[in-house]
Structure 1
């Protein structure tokens, strides 16, 4: 199994803790990126949000694509999975930007295509935000255009949402960037099975994640497509010398204050309203986002490693870690957990 991490564009990951010692600056992201590169982490996910989803909409946050290019320039090995919302980007322009970023990174680029859920953000920044299933229909065409431009010159396309006429994109990416996507609704999963190369999930139990992997494999087989090249899951990790210490840290970060539905929780109701989730999310779970606490990666290094190996046995190919503060916790995880899971680094090949 590969081990990746979320780039902290928000100044941290915790909604209940104000200052995590993780400022929303490139200086801190550079420190994290070079630490992860040195320690042998395989991949980073750079989220794309124009408003701060973790600390409140008025708090600072960084833009994904400029940040991804900067990360590519200061690292050598880590794969860069940058998120992109079709409603905010013309597909032909994005295909060109991605090809340039692929060149900067020497073929280390991947895309996480997100059909979006935050109506307030789209209103503020002029993004396209349709009804749920329409967002996935737009995404399918958007991916067709992007991958078509990476593949053919000249490229033309005539769809319901996008039209391209004899477009030229050179140079092509060195390695065709894999397309990752995640979703839980019936329409979302059906759509993702058609256009994505890899499937990414919110955190879940071993049984839940194994079931999703099997379900998406069946969906791919039913439409005559090869299995996904990889599956991934988000997870928040707390490793301490004793289980008691780890549980105390979990209690600290998940204790929602009396004013807990305040600025850092402003997006909670909108996320639930505009997402067709398989399982409800409590305010306590939402304190770290992406259902990262549900995998239960909390305890000693031995306990966390045992859980990670169970996910690997269930077929998971990539775990995307969050932890706080990220730079020192990546050091701790690499030092204490990596030797127990026998991890290896590789870039998945696309046929």
Structure 2
């Protein structure tokens, strides 16, 4: 298993505890990511949202790509998996900038391609927001352009969304034939696009049984395309404690939503509700999961180190390659997880 984590672009990842880790900032981000290399983490996911989806739209949110460029210069080994939303980036200019960041990082850049879900954010910034299947059509074309520019000396393209005439991207990314492209999605349109054009499939948190079924489905789709095997990752929230009772008490603390029953929920609740109504999910996303994003508590990485190690093994048996972890307070909990779960286990 490889271990990754969500970088604190919002300062923290719990929606109903606004002051859990303080405001987002470069100093704390840099310190955390540099330390994570030392204690065994393989990858950091840098989310891209210009409005703060977790703490409320008025709260700070670090820009993903300038942060990634800075982290590329101050880290040495960790994979930088940076989210990118095609409707926010002209693909040829993006391919040029991302190739440069990959060179700064020595070949450690990866993409997490996200077909935007948040209409309010797009319209706030004056950008196009496509309907569901159109979003994946745009993403597919966008990926064709970026991939062609990274592979070919010159690249021309004429499509529904983008047109290029003998465009050049030099230097190319160090990672050949291209940086790893991760993507997630649960609709048929998303899975079809990912199986054809991406290298790794990332999922919301779920049980080992459901993850095994999802991996089997994607393996079948990938096989029909005649392409090499994919990597598989999953989001999860972890609470490691010396006893089950301590871990469950912490889970209860972070999942209490203040003000909900009184009709005065936290600022981000309306954004969550809009996202819920704008997606096509295979199973209903429960409102009580609002406090932890990406269905992070469903994997049940909550308990003693031994219990969590057993759960990790179950996910390995299901075919999972990568865990994308959230924890809070992040610095302290990442240290604990490393000491009690990552380091005691053989690679």
Give yes or no for TM over 0.5: yes
Q: Tell me the residue number matched to 1:224.
A: 226
CA separation in 2, counterparts of 1:266 and 1:56? Answer: 9
Counterpart Cα distance in 1 of 2:216 and 2:283: 18
The 5 Å alignment of 1:98-177 reads 98-175=98-175, 176-177=178-179
Task: Show the 5 A alignment for 1:53-132.
Answer: 53-132=53-132
Give a deviation string over 1:183-208, Cα, whole Å, max 9, x none.
00111111211111110001010001
Counterpart CA distance in 1 for 2:170 and 2:304 is 50
Summarize the Cα distance change of 1:210–1:22 in structure 2 as closer, same or farther, 3 Å threshold: farther
Q: Give the alignment's Cα RMSD to 1 decimal.
A: 1.1
Q: For 1:175-254, list aligned pairs within 5 A.
A: 175=175, 176-228=178-230, 230-254=231-255
Q: Distance in 1 between matches of 2:76 and 2:225?
A: 38
Say whether 1:326 aligns with 2:330.
yes
Moved more, 271-280 or 89-98: 271-280
The unaligned stretches of length 5 or more in structure 2 are none
- Given candidates 321, 338, 343, the residue that maps to 1:317 is 321
Distance 1:257 1:19 in 2: 13
- Residue 305 of structure 2 aligns with which residue? 301
Equivalent pairs, count: 342
Is the Cα contact below 8 Å between 2:211 and 2:318 reproduced in 1?
yes
Q: Who is 1:28 aligned against?
A: 28
Deviation at 1:339, TM superposition (A): 3.4
Aligned partner of residue 173 in structure 2, secondary structure: coil
Normalised by the length of structure 1, the TM-score is 0.95
Following superposition, the deviation at residue 328 of structure 1 comes to 1.1
Q: Which moved more, 1:289-298 or 1:126-135?
A: 126-135
The offset of 1:281, in angstroms, is 1.6
Report the secondary structure of 2:294's partner residue. Answer: coil
- Give the equivalent residue in structure 2 for 1:346: none
Contact kept, 8 Å, 1:22 with 1:28, in 2: the verdict is: no
With structure 2 as the length reference, what TM-score do the two structures score?
Answer: 0.96
How far has the Cα of 1:294 moved from its partner?
0.6
Q: What residue number does 1:17 align with?
A: 17
User: How far did residue 285 of structure 1 move?
Assistant: 0.9
Tell me, yes or no, if the aligned pair for 2:40 and 2:343 is still in contact at 8 Å. no
